[in-house]
Each structure stands twice: as C-alpha cells, then as structure tokens.
Amino acid sequence: MKTTKLLLILAVSAFSTSIFAQNKEISLNDIWRSGTFFPEYVYGINSMNDGAHYTSLGASSIEKYSYKTGEKVETIYSTTEIRFSAYQFSADERKILLPTETEQIYRHSTRSKYYVYDRDTEKLEVLSEGKQRYATFSPSGSKVAFVRDNNLFVKDFETGAETQVTTDGEKNKIINGATDWVYEEEYAFDKAFFWAPDGNSIAYYRFDEERVPEFSMDIFGKGLYPEQERFKYPKCGEDNAIVTVHIYNTNSKKTVNTNLSGYEYIPRVKWTNDANEVCVFTMNRHQNKLELNIVNATTGESKVIYTESDPAYIDITDNLTFLKDNSFIWTSEVDGYNHIYYFDKNGKQITQVTKGQWDVTNFYGLDEKSNTLYYQSAEESPIQRAVYSIRLNGKRKKKLSEKTGTNAANFSNGFKYYINTHSDANTPPFFSLHEANGKQIRVIKDNEGLKTRMEGYDLSPKEFFKFTTSEGVELNGWMIKPANFDESKQYPVFMFVYGGPGSQTVEDQWGGVNYFWYQMLAQKGYIVASVDNRGTGARGRDFKKITYKELGKYETVDQIEAAKHFASLPYVDGDRIGIQGWSYGGYMSSLCITKGADMFKMAIAVAPVTNWKYYDSIYTERYMQTPQENNDGYENNSPINHVKKLNAPYLLVHGSADDNVHYQNTMEMIEALVQADKQFDLFIYPNKNHGIYGGNTRYHLYTKMTNFILENL
C-alpha cells in the first residue's frame, strides 16, 4: 500500500515537473550570460587540394579529416609554443602561416605577429619583425607578401631576403597594400594586394588620403586625459582618397603604374588566368557605371572589355570568375533580377545562364570539368533560399537542397562535396555533408542539444504573413504571438526594423540570440513582429532601388502602413505599437516615432544615422548622390528635421567610439530634440563601437531596452 502510494506521488511529481519545464520563462541571463541558447556551429573548415579532405582548427592544432567519413586522419600541426586562431596553407600545403597576438583595427582589418611552419623541416620561424597585416603566400609558396606601417613587403624563403616594395606609407596619408576605412567598410575587403597566378607579380592598391578630412573621437581610459583616435573618413560630398593600382615584379624589382582614367573608385582587382593580365573594376562616383578593365602587367596599358550602367546604382560582388580560356562568369541585375551570365574573354555575352523573376543570391563557383555552376537563389520565395546546379549553357538546372527554409553551401576543392547549412525560422542550424549531386552522405552537427533545451521553454512559433498596403504594395512580415495567445484579447505590438537597401529581416532562417529576446517579450504578453519595406532585397531590382535618392521615404511609409495593418487586427491594441532598430534600423525607428507619431507609442534607436550627410561617401552616395546634388533628399528624410512631431517615449543609445555611424549623429539628434523642447531617454556606452559589445555590455543594453519596453509599451 505504501509502495503504491509512493509510486503514485513520484509519478504525479514527474508529470508536474514535466509540465513546469515546458513552461519555463526565458531570462536575459539565459540569452546573454549563460549561453543557454547558443547553437553549435561548424568553424574553420578549409578544403584541401585533393578535395577529399578538409582541415579544421583544434585547441592548438590543425587537424585533417575525411569529408566522406568525418574521421580524423592526421594531426597536421600541434604546438604549445604559440596560440593561433587562424591558419593559411601555401598552395602545395607544405608551409603554414600562423597569425598570433592578433589586434582588431576596424570591422575587418587586423594586425598580427606571424609565424611560418615548414611541414618538411618541422621548423617554426617568425615571419618578420613586429606585427604585419594580411601575410599571404605566393602561388609557389616560396615567398610571402605582407603590409607593415602602410608599406608592402615581400619575404623570400629561398634567399631569406625581405624586400620593401613601397617606402612612402604613412598613417593618415599614404596606404600601400591595404584599404582605407571606407573601402574596408563599404566594399568589404581590407587586403589590397594580389599575387599573379605565376607568383612573379603583385598587383596592389595605393591610397593617397592626404586630402581626405579627418574624423576624431575620444577614447576614455584610466588616465586623467582621454586619448584621441584620428583617422581619415570621407563623409558624403567630401574628398575621397585618390586610389591607384600598381604592379610589382618580384624578378625585376620594378613597379608598373596602371594606365586607368575617368574613375572615382576601384572596388575590385582580380587576376585572370593569364599571369600578364589583371582585371581592374572601375566606377564613377555615382556608382551607376562599372567598367571591367584588362590591364597588361608588363606595360600597365588597359582596355575596357565590359561596361554596365544602371539608372540607380550597381552593387559590387565577388562573383567574377575566369575560366581557363579567360572567358568569364558574371552576375548582373540588367534584366531586372540578379542572374548569372557567361561572356567570352572580350566581354561579348555568350549566354544568360539563369533566368526568371527571382534573384540569384550567391554564386558558389564553376566546375569546369563538367561545365556545372553552383548557386543559391530565392526562386521559391523571397524569404527562402535553396541551392542549385545548372550547366554553363543554362540547361539541366537541378535543385540540390531538400529542406524548406534557408540553405547555404560550402563546396570542396574540385566540387566533389559540399557542406549544406540549413535552418528555418524556428529551427537552429543543421550541418550536413553532400555529394555534388545533392545526395546526403552524413550529418555533421544537428543541434539536437539546443532543440532539446528549447523544448523546456514556453516558445511560440515565428509565423510569416503578407499584407497589401494602401498603395497596393505587397509586403512580407513575420510575427511571434504571446504564449497562450487568445484571439479574444488585445495585445501590444513590438516591431523590429532594419529596412536598408538590399537587406532582409523577414527570412525563413534562424534568427540567432535575438530570436530568444523576442520570445522573452512574447512571454511577457507582446506580439513581436517585423516587416520588410520597399528597398529590401530578394525581390528584384525595381523593388530594391525604388528608394534611390530618397532613403527613408518609402521605407517609413511602409513601416507606418505595417503599424496600421497590425492596428486593424482584432487581437491587437492599436494604441500600443512600438518600434526598435539598430544602425539603419535606428534611423528607421527614429523616423517612425517622428513622421509616424500618430501610430507609434514608443521607439528605441541604437547607433542611428540621423542625417545621411554625417555618413560615409561610398555607401551614402550610392543611394543618395551627394548632398550638393540632392539636398532635399537628405533633409526631407532626416529625423533631425522632424523632432517637433515627437510625442512619445524615445530611447537613444550609442557607443562613444563608433567609427562607423559616428556618435556625432546622436549628438546632433540630441541638440535638435533639446531645441524642440522634447524630452527623451539617452544612454551612451563609453569606448564601444558600432556593435556595442564586450564584457557585460550586451546584457546591460538588452536589460535597458527590455525595461524601456515594459515601462512604455
């Protein structure tokens, strides 16, 4: 009798515990401190030359694995002498470059103390004195080029000689072999030198920054006086660096200047398969005309083989791919959607490889043995991504990915295998290995641990929807409803916005840790939602480029329309709609709480642009032209000029060391608010950059934002 009763009590207790576990509430500590919701990722995979193996970083080692079995077959290098978090093989895989003591400069750029490990002699040697940037093997592996103190150097392993290629490098004046701030940020590369295929020449950039205005910001330390960081930053309408490309021959020790003219920007340099011909992209300042120039490496003479123009602007990618005969693959929006094209070596179009009212969103490469291209597209839906193969002639297209959501591929050398990363809006990343035909070989990581942990919390699914605005524009959105949602009740809505050109927040893919912040807010009784306005990506050229010369106008109209749509729903309290955004999203939330004051009850703006005249030349002028040409476009949609309309709680947050969207934006917004006699909330994070992170910072920021939402929405 007692035993039966005890078993019954235990069973009831277990059942109650199970029910309780299914209804756990998420805390900010879970999200930002404990790592409860961090998924597992596949890091540092590099395909080896044979295409059958890959390498990956161990704790202090480089391990070699079989693609097919996933089993480790060799420890290529292991050490306790140095600590490294990256590595680079020479072309023959006999030498390894190891960066240590790495320092971050800006978003992409770093400097490190490099070591070279020789697998044949098993010797580890320092590359050069001090710290270097972008150390890169020559194709033969006999040399390494690197940048130090804004000058380009070449180290010859066979002779031991170190040659200084340039001598005029100087901070805030001349840069050789590396990019300036604005190229790094907006053209997304920082190493600005490139070995020729035969290893006898290096094409490199030279930036003359002397005429570019300097920006300064204070860095607050423990001393009595702050340090001042000064760097060249061309704001829109101001002077850019004078950029040129030069070619250094390692045999003759001579440098050739390229004969290029009539350009403002050089967004890419790429060698063809001919060691005497390098392709240099040139663009005008408006970035609506692009030319591909073939430059003779011996003489510096150039010829234009391809020209593309657009009524608005042209986005730059790394999709240019030269075949063995120097015919090439190119992606373009010329037919209204981003597609793949094939040209002969003289720039004459052979075929349009992909066609349709959908965008190619990534180009993975071409297997010349089978004339098969691999790419990712939004063919099935703007919010989803699938991986495809297609023949060079545009035939025999095949969908390789099977799961609905977002798929991305990482191919091995030779295109024998690829690692597919899949996720959807409510499912963390799933990594699997496939043959090139799409057949799955094995699962690499499935994140079952995170999925199991998620089952212990009271989560609501992220749901997708569409609605049509009063202007007849169909927009995509998602929402997360409160736990135990009841249609007979009314709920406040918290909107998240980004909205910038070509971006998307409405995607059927894993949303990272913010997914759990939104779930936490839903547990507290909020509907959390996001809508992609006009100007965002994966819906063709016209949908994206309608915002040209009027950034903020159509985006704000659409976000206000989204708020009206939510207010029309029977389960929404239309008087309680708030909005939050970061960077471009902070610009948008600031416009919404001012120009859309009658629809929004509160707003949070983190690191916002407040007037585009304070932002950099390349990004801003791509979409707006210069302030001198388009003053109304700048002023009409600056939240600074609409602060008098503010009549709701507004939280403004910025990092004082933001080298990207300068703290100046927030200071100007503060002044406008003060002069308009508008009360607002402000928080500044000392010495934090655009990401506002480090130590306890993110936890503190999200605590502040959460409390602001709870108190004001």
Task: Give the model confidence (pLDDT) of 432-469 as tens digits.
Answer: 999 999 999 999 999 999 999 999 999 999 999 999 99
Task: Give pLDDT tens digits for 672-702.
Answer: 999 999 999 999 999 999 999 999 999 999 9
Strand order in the sheet with 360-367: 360-367, 372-377, 386-391, 398-399
pLDDT greater than 90 at residue 2: no
Q: Which residues pair with 242 in a beta bridge?
A: 208
Report the run of H or E that residue 142 belongs to, with start and end. Answer: none
Region 340-352 average pLDDT: 98
pLDDT greater than 70 at residue 3: no
The DSSP secondary structure of 195-242, one letter per residue, reads E-TTSSEEEEEEEE-TTSPEEEEEE--SSSS-EEEEEE--BTTSPPPE
pLDDT greater than 80 at residue 5: no
Structure tokens at 182: 């604005």
Give the pLDDT score at 369. 95
Q: How far apart are CA 706 and CA 21, in angstroms?
A: 24
- Whether residue 585 is contained in a domain is answered as yes
What pairing do the DSSP bridges indicate for beta strands 321-322 and 398-399?
unpaired
- Whether residue 136 is contained in a domain is answered as no
User: What CATH number corresponds to the domain at position 606?
Assistant: 3.40.50.1820
What pairing do the DSSP bridges indicate for beta strands 572-582 and 491-497?
parallel
Give the contacts of 410 (CB within 8 A, at least 6 positions apart): 45, 418, 419, 421
Phi/psi at 516 (5° precision): -80, -30
Give the contacts of 157 (CB within 8 A, at least 6 positions apart): 95, 116, 141, 142, 143, 144
Torsion of CA 459, 464, 469, 475, to 10 degrees: 120
Task: Give pLDDT tens digits for 586-644.
Answer: 999 999 999 999 999 999 999 999 999 999 999 999 999 999 999 999 999 999 999 99
Q: How far apart are CA 457 and CA 463, in angstroms?
A: 18
Give the pLDDT score at 8. 38
- Whether residue 244 is contained in a domain is answered as no
Q: Are 657 and 217 in contact (CB under 8 A)?
A: yes
Give the pLDDT score at 58. 86
- Find tokens 């030779």 and name the residue: 414
Range of the domain at 480: 457-712
- Whether residue 6 is contained in a domain is answered as no
- Whether residue 268 is contained in a domain is answered as no
Region 247-270 average pLDDT: 97
Q: How far apart are CA 158 and CA 571, in angstroms?
A: 74
Report the run of H or E that residue 188 belongs to, with start and end. Answer: none
Q: Are 499 and 555 in contact (CB under 8 A)?
A: yes
Q: Which residues pair with 144 in a beta bridge?
A: 137, 155
Give the pLDDT score at 342. 98
For the whole model, what pTM was predicted? 0.94
Indicate the pLDDT class of residue 4, thresholds 50, 70 and 90: very low
Total number of domains in the chain: 1
What pairing do the DSSP bridges indicate for beta strands 123-126 and 133-137?
unpaired
Q: Are 593 and 603 in contact (CB under 8 A)?
A: yes
How many CB atoms are located within 10 Å of the residue 259 CB?
13
Indicate the pLDDT class of residue 19, thresholds 50, 70 and 90: very low
Write the Ramachandran bin of 553: left for phi over 0, alpha for psi from -120 to 50, otherwise beta. Answer: alpha
The amino acid present at 603, given as its one-letter code, is A
Indicate the pLDDT class of residue 9, thresholds 50, 70 and 90: very low
Q: Are 240 and 232 in contact (CB under 8 A)?
A: no
Structure tokens at 545: 């480029």
- Find tokens 């349009």 and name the residue: 352
Give the pLDDT score at 101. 96
Task: Give pLDDT tens digits for 388-434.
Answer: 999 999 999 999 999 999 999 999 999 999 999 999 999 999 999 99
- Find tokens 């290096």 and name the residue: 202
3-state SS, 252-292, equals CCCEEECCCCCCCECCCEEECCCCCEEEEEEECCCCCEEEE
Indicate the pLDDT class of residue 479, thresholds 50, 70 and 90: very high
Q: Are 338 and 359 in contact (CB under 8 A)?
A: yes
Region 15-38 average pLDDT: 77
Phi/psi at 701 (5° precision): -60, -45
DSSP, collapsed to helix, strand or coil, labels residue 711 as helix
Task: Give pLDDT tens digits for 301-319.
Answer: 999 999 999 999 999 999 9
Q: In angstroms, how far is CA 414 from the centroid of its own chain?
A: 26
Give the pLDDT score at 222. 83
C-alpha pair distances (Å), 532 with each of 262, 266, 380, 560, 582: 37, 31, 17, 12, 15
Single out the residue of 262, 148, 247 nearest to residue 200, CA to CA: 247
pLDDT greater than 70 at residue 21: no
In percent, the amount of the chain with pLDDT more than 90 equals 94
pLDDT greater than 90 at residue 545: yes
Q: How far apart are CA 338 and CA 362, in angstroms?
A: 10
Single out the residue of 388, 402, 400 nearest to residue 354, CA to CA: 388
- Whether residue 606 is contained in a domain is answered as yes
DSSP, collapsed to helix, strand or coil, labels residue 409 as strand
Region 72-82 average pLDDT: 94
Give the pLDDT score at 23. 79
Mean pLDDT, all residues of the chain: 95
pLDDT greater than 80 at residue 504: yes
Structure tokens at 191: 């190493």
Helices (H) and strands (E) in the chain, counts: 12, 43
Task: Give pLDDT tens digits for 159-176.
Answer: 999 999 999 999 999 999
Q: Are 128 and 162 in contact (CB under 8 A)?
A: yes
Structure tokens at 464: 């997708």
The amino acid present at 367, given as its one-letter code, is D
Query: Rg of the Cα trace of the chain?
Result: 27
Region 134-161 average pLDDT: 96
The amino acid present at 619, given as its one-letter code, is Y
Indicate the pLDDT class of residue 22, thresholds 50, 70 and 90: low
Residues making up the chain, counted from first to last: 713
pLDDT greater than 90 at residue 107: no
- Whether residue 491 is contained in a domain is answered as yes
- Whether residue 58 is contained in a domain is answered as no
Region 187-196 average pLDDT: 97
Residues with catalytic roles: 583, 658, 690
In percent, the amount of the chain with pLDDT more than 70 equals 97
What pairing do the DSSP bridges indicate for beta strands 491-497 and 527-532?
parallel
Q: How far apart are CA 538 and CA 338, in angstroms?
A: 9
Give the pLDDT score at 6. 38
